Structure 1
Amino acid sequence: MDNNVALHDLRKWKYALFILFSLPGLSFSTWISRTPDIRNTLEASTSLMGWIIFGLACGSIIGLLAANKVIAKLGTRPVILICLILIILGLALIGINASFFPIPILLFLSLALFGLGYGMGEVAINVDGAMLEQAASKILLPALHGCFSAGTLIGAGLGYLTLSLGISTLQHLIGIVIVSLIIVGIFISNIPTGNGKMLQETKSSAKDHPTSNVWKEKRTILIGLIVLGMAFAEGTANEWLPLAIVDGFNVEAQSGTLVYVVFLSAMLIARLSAGYFLDRFGRVAVLRYAAIFAAIGVGVLIFASNLPIGVIGVFLWGIGASIGFPLGLSAAGDNPINSAQRVGAVSIIGYLAFLVGPPLLGMLGDAIGLLNAMSTVLIVVVAVFFLSPVVKRPSTVDAEEASQVNQ
């Protein structure tokens, strides 16, 4: 393969990942934008909604725990394809059940299927994204996660529009399903085959660099805790923000979705601009400021006396929660030896927090109110502030960066 072809293939790979990263976000926020309507259809309490949403967590846990082994066997491209299909199928079943069979257990199972695809697929696509970042020798994961945020933003915007126009939940979700299937069909073939083999050491490299158990590495686990904290902060907003706004400020469902759009817009802005700030100030400083913004934002929202002030808090929360996950994945891939395994491990920790934490918070919210329950997010992001030095690049990398700045 000559260099021109290689560059062409790298460009196609990058564009495909940018597009495909948006689909889980689009599907996820489409479901979230309809939670107030589905809650009303079921006449469900906050606690019951927490149990229904726990179906998403149950499916995701299975997908997350199986991800590394399945990716190692099949490669990232087949896993991404299968999982996107599961996400799309799960979304279709959510719409059908909510419209024709509004029974909690059926929605639980639909979300479990959605979660299975989501959990495993997000690990696969992040492993592939980390490999793309290494191949391009460029910071790309924040921008890739920005595409996830763009997908959630589009989904939330369409949710607000369909609610305003009186479009049914079924029509809304089936429309997203059709568009998603078309996008998958167009772009999935641009991801290189065999990428999953990065999760397995070749015989020759194994002699020089024996495969280690990354779960026993202190730095990997601490990075995982950082990602856990920021993923919990992001996932809590994704799962509960519309309902928290509706219940906490006594407004209509459209207003809750619109405030959710503000959160997603802040996430998108921060992720698309993160590369500049990371190059200029470094990982540790950026992560510390992100934790500060998130803490201030959550605090403002909890204690806001009116919705406009709460919206300011939501925007700061979105800025702060945006960078921890992709930054942690980049840090996990610093050492090229076993890097894919570390990225996979950190992804698993992050998505467990992203998907399992919010349902547990919902159960707490049933007792003390959703806005008050979000004080747990405040505690978690403060912990991230103190853990932030862990993401510092290895000294050799820092020296190379310093020499480039001084040139």
Structure 2
Amino acid sequence: MDSHLQPVITLTNNVHIPDLPVLPSFNPEHLLNLTDSTGMIQHALRTMPNRKEGYCTDDNSRALMLTALAWHQGRYPEALKLMSVYLSFVHYMQTDDGYFHNFMRYDKQIIFDGSSEDAYGRTIMALGYLVAFGPAPQMMKTAEDIFLKAAPHMDNLVSLRGIANSLVGLCVFAKSQDNNSQQLELINLLADKLIAEYHRYSEDSWCWFEEVLTYDNGILPLALVHAYEITRNDSYLQTALEAIHFLETKVFHDDILYPVGNDGWASKGGDTALFDQQPLDAMAMVLFYQQAYQVTGDKHHLDRLMQSWQWFLGSNALGLPLYDEITGGCADGLQPDRVNENQGAESTIAFWISYFAVAQTLNQ
């Protein structure tokens, strides 16, 4: 066994998993490398932070969620220090009406581009996790204040991924609170929006929420499984399982994950692009299967969880690992003949969020 690898702690629930995976040790070096006193720089030139590209709320929110998971599972001191930086960035980017700017230049000038429902949803998701798993009441209360100030915008979301990310965050937030009829009403509202889009586009040969499979696909059924866990509305779970079954026919071949390629996507009636495969998509699949296994106990989801995780480590179309054990970073994508040499924020965070999802599942 390589010296950098550590076995996963023995399972305590007597679940048998063939070929129990080995997880690398948590290595926050590249996260630290990409983070300064302002926040996480969004892109890298190979392993060097690319300051010319500045910061974004998207990545700082995902990084905030990562630190909440890391702290909850391992009490890593690096996570605690980084958490404060990312939360401060999110707070600074929140507007007076509760929404969020997305981009900031390296000279700390906000780019006024109309903001992004995706970034809003990912921030809601991260804040929900911090409220649920934060290290101290003061920090959790700050996250709750930011969350509640932003929450009124959920009613008007139209982007499917903005809706789905927000719904996940809202459900995680609601589970940590006393029963709240307004939160339950909002969970149903967002879930019903996803259900409506599913029925609009689905037919016998296409069971999905839109006419094309693009990016972060697993987040859509993931949100419905979270909503089911709160509401016990069977239609949410049924739709999520139908959708993921369809998605599996597009992205799994011989039990290897082939995320829909960024270079062309997958349109109804068309071909599925093989490359450029993105870590964000593998992470969404990991998170879906973690939640689906937790809610249903179906071993199929556990198997798919491990197959999705192994994509990062080399069980993929090229047989090449995207995770860099030396730097603790993750390559930005899988291209036709190689992995992308750049190790940006989104990719590295996607790897480590997936890591903690797998670790939590294996040690339940």
Normalising by the smaller structure, the TM-score range is under 0.3
**TM-score (norm: length of structure 2):** 0.25
**TM-score (norm: length of structure 1):** 0.24
Larger RCO (CA within 8 A; separation ≥ 6): 1
- Greater share of helix: 1
